[in-house]
């Protein structure tokens, strides 16, 4: 135990090690049974993890060389030209949506959506432990978005897409002359209305609006009818954000099904943008 | 003065007698002013020195002296946050070495890659470490986010730190993306061309995006032009990617990392129930 002594400046030095209960933290004596010293119990694991990662990365780097293709040539476009693998989920979306949605709006919504999660998930349960029962909606939604829409689309983009962004199984040889004749239709063309006409545009816009309108109001009314506590706690602003993000996310698989099953190209055509 | 000197000499002789030459050197070293100015505490394994080990070391004292009993459990952390930071350190170090051999201009960039392969000692290994390390970092960041979500660790009081984490996730992707162009091969060139083509379609700010033309956007003044320093991927784009990759983004990421780590402690420590 160091001696208490007056320093030249006449000040006291704060020393950390005094036996007995801590003044700084009232409940220290209560939680101390629940604590471990960082050294060695945490730090040794961190160092061990660092060593394992370093060895793994070393082996990976010795056995596998980083790719280096021919010198860049702006006049020679590879087919397919793929973005880095971690963006291939977004590139895969280009099959179903125009670039302004797949490349700009959806990424922005993903980032903003992730950031607002703590503020719209007001469920106090499941804080710091694993549970599915206590937060079914949150986990299901997140895992669907992360594993299916993000990871699975990346896998499709990396392994299944060949020349012309056509589907090739990994064991299939890429045939750059393969042509798939498909005619895509805009939604209003199914009922015989030109999608580029004013009427077609209004119908298309109406359908998109109705999609979000119903998406926001129907669950609201259902929950209201059940006197849902969750809805009461959420409040109208949080509820609207949750519902908007949720239905925007589901817009992707819905459009995928429509495109793949019904060859649908656009739901809403305007002179400025198409959805 | 001379008395004291004589006494010291005597002590050394006695010390050598008692502990042998090596033992005496060790003893003298450990009790010297130089040593004790470097290391403020002893090496014996007591609760006190365990805590001093952490709080008297500027790098280790990112940690608190004590953590909750469940905090170091693998099932809580998956080690993913720490591994992500470790890959960031590996990338910084290998990146600095790579900068010694790289010229960010259209004429040299590609041939510097070949130079790393054929002329620089361990050059290829260096590049491989940097490349695969970058891929690893992207993967571990995602797993880190997934784990934090699964344990609900974004809930109060950690909401703000989750937001910082999302920013760091985005910047990790941007770091990787800007690095993709630097080898100046077909792979990087076209990946970045495809990627930045998206910027053309930015609503209002890209010349092919909704309302872009109405707002006077052309290929020579829209957001893609600002990113590339031109209307297509060329020398300016390479230089911009290089500077963002080596200076701009790492600085920003470091700032956010500081906040991220500091907030972990302020908000109740790593993982677990609060």
Whether the Cβ atoms of residue B246 and residue B95 lie closer than 8 Å to each other: yes
A80-181 is classed in which CATH architecture?
Orthogonal Bundle (1.10)
Share of chain A above pLDDT 90, in %: 65
Residue of B72, B146, B272 lying closest to A42 (CB–CB) = B72
**What's the alpha-carbon Rg for chain B, to the nearest Å?**
27
Closest listed residue to residue B170, CA positions, set A21, A107, A42 = A107
Alpha-carbon distance B268 to nearest alpha carbon in chain A (angstroms): 11
> What is the DSSP code (8-state) at residue A71?
B
d(CA B44, CA B54) in angstroms, rounded, equals 14
Predicted pLDDT of residue A26: 43
Residue of B83, B185, B198 lying closest to A70 (CB–CB) = B185
Alpha-carbon distance A48 to nearest alpha carbon in chain B (angstroms): 10
d(CA A7, CA A27) in angstroms, rounded, equals 31
Show residues of chain A in contact with B169, CB under 8 Å. 114
- For A246, residues 6+ apart whose C-beta sits below 8 A from its C-beta are A141, A215
Encode A66-78: b = buried (16+ Cβ within 10 Å), e = exposed: bebeebbeeeeeb
Question: Quick one: which H or E segment has residue B92?
Answer: helix B80-99
Predicted pLDDT of residue A22: 55
> What is the DSSP code (8-state) at residue A123?
-
Residue of B130, B138, B186 lying closest to A69 (CB–CB) = B186
Question: Does residue B252 sit at the A interface (CB-CB below 8 Å)?
Answer: no
Residue of A41, A57, A73 lying closest to B186 (CB–CB) = A73
- Confidence label for B30 from pLDDT (cuts 50, 70 and 90): confident
Chain B's closest residue to A127, CA to CA, is B152
Look at residue A23 and tell me whether its pLDDT is greater than 70: no
Predicted pLDDT of residue A21: 58
d(CA B88, CA B86) in angstroms, rounded, equals 5
Tokens of A46: 């961190």
Question: Does residue B122 sit at the A interface (CB-CB below 8 Å)?
Answer: no
Q: What is the CATH number of domain B74-266?
A: 1.20.810.10
Which of the residue ranges A53-57, A73-77, A191-195, B92-96 would you say has the lowest mean pLDDT?
A: A191-195
Chain centroid to Cα B46, Å, comes to 33
Q: With left for phi above 0 and alpha for psi between -120 and 50, is residue B68 left, alpha or beta? A: beta
Cβ contact B69–A99 (<8 Å):
no
Cβ contact A46–B50 (<8 Å):
no
Cβ contact B193–A65 (<8 Å):
no
Delimit the CATH 1.10.287 region(s) of chain A.
80-181
- Confidence label for A30 from pLDDT (cuts 50, 70 and 90): very low
Whether the Cβ atoms of residue B99 and residue B93 lie closer than 8 Å to each other: no
- Torsions phi, psi of A192, nearest 5? 80, 20
Question: Does residue A114 sit at the B interface (CB-CB below 8 Å)?
Answer: yes
A interface mutation test: which of B66, B76, B90, B172 has the most A CBs within 10 A? B66
Look at residue A58 and tell me whether its pLDDT is greater than 80: yes
Q: With left for phi above 0 and alpha for psi between -120 and 50, is residue B214 left, alpha or beta? A: alpha
Residue of B110, B184, B201 lying closest to A99 (CB–CB) = B201
Stronger pLDDT, A31 or A228, i.e. the higher one: A228
Which residues are A37's β-sheet partners? B66
- Confidence label for A120 from pLDDT (cuts 50, 70 and 90): very high
- Span B212-225, pLDDT tens digits: 888 889 889 999 99
Look at residue B179 and tell me whether its pLDDT is greater than 80: yes
- Span B143-163, pLDDT tens digits: 999 999 999 999 999 999 999
Cβ contact B201–A124 (<8 Å):
no
Stronger pLDDT, A121 or B13, i.e. the higher one: A121
A interface mutation test: which of B64, B144, B189 has the most A CBs within 10 A? B189
Q: Which of residues 146-205 of A touch B (CB under 8 A)?
A: 146
d(CA B236, CA B233) in angstroms, rounded, equals 8
């Amino acid at each position: 135990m160091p001696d208490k002594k007056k320093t030249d400046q006449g000040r006291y030095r704060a020393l950390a090690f005094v036996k007995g209960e801590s003044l700084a933290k009232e409940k220290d004596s209560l939680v101390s049974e629940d604590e471990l010293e960082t050294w060695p119990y945490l730090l040794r694991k961190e160092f061990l993890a660092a060593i394992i990662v370093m060895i793994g990365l070393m082996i990976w780097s010795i056995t596998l060389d980083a790719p280096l293709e021919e010198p860049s040539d702006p006049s020679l476009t590879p087919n397919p030209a793929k973005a880095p693998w971690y963006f291939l989920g977004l590139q895969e979306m280009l099959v179903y949506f125009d670039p302004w949605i797949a490349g700009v709006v959806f990424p922005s919504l993903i980032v903003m959506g992730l950031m607002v999660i703590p503020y719209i998930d007001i469920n106090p349960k499941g804080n710091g432990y694993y549970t599915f029962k206590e937060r079914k909606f949150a986990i299901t939604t997140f895992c669907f978005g992360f594993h299916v829409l993000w990871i699975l689309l990346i896998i499709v983009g990396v392994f299944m897409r060949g020349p012309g962004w056509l589907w090739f199984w990994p064991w299939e040889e890429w045939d750059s002359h393969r042509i798939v004749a498909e005619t895509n239709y805009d939604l209003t063309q199914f009922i015989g209305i030109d999608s580029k006409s004013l009427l077609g545009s209004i119908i298309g816009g109406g359908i998109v609006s109705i999609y979000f309108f119903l998406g926001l109001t129907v669950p609201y009314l259902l929950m209201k009818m059940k006197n849902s506590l969750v809805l009461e706690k959420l409040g109208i602003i949080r509820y609207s954000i949750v519902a908007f993000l949720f239905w925007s996310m589901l817009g992707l698989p819905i459009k995928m099904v429509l495109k793949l099953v019904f060859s649908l190209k656009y739901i809403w055509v305007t002179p400025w943008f198409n959805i | 003065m001379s008395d004291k000197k004589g006494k010291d000499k005597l002590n050394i002789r006695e010390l050598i007698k008692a502990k042998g030459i090596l033992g005496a050197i060790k003893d003298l070293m450990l009790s010297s002013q130089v040593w004790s100015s470097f290391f403020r505490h002893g090496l014996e394994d007591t609760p006190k020195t365990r805590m001093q080990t952490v709080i008297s070391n500027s790098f280790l004292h990112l940690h608190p002296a004590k953590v909750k009993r469940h905090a170091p459990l693998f099932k809580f952390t998956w080690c993913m946050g720490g591994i992500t930071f470790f890959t960031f350190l590996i990338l910084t170090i290998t990146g600095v070495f790579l900068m010694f051999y790289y010229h960010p201009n259209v004429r040299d960039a590609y041939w510097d890659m070949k130079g790393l392969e054929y002329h620089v000692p361990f050059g290829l290994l260096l590049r491989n470490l940097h490349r695969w390390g970058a891929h690893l970092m992207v993967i571990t960041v995602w797993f880190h986010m997934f784990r934090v979500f699964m344990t609900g660790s974004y809930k109060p009081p950690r909401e703000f730190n989750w937001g910082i984490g999302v920013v760091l996730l985005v910047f990790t992707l941007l770091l990787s993306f800007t690095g993709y162009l630097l080898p100046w091969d077909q792979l990087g060139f076209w990946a970045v061309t495809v990627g930045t083509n998206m910027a053309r379609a930015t609503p209002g700010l890209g010349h092919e995006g909704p309302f872009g033309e109405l707002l006077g956007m052309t290929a020579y003044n829209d957001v893609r032009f600002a990113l590339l320093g031109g209307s297509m991927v060329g020398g300016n784009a390479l230089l911009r990617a290089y500077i963002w990759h080596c200076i701009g983004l790492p600085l920003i990421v470091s700032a956010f990392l500081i906040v991220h780590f500091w907030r972990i402690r302020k908000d109740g420590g790593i993982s677990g129930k609060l």
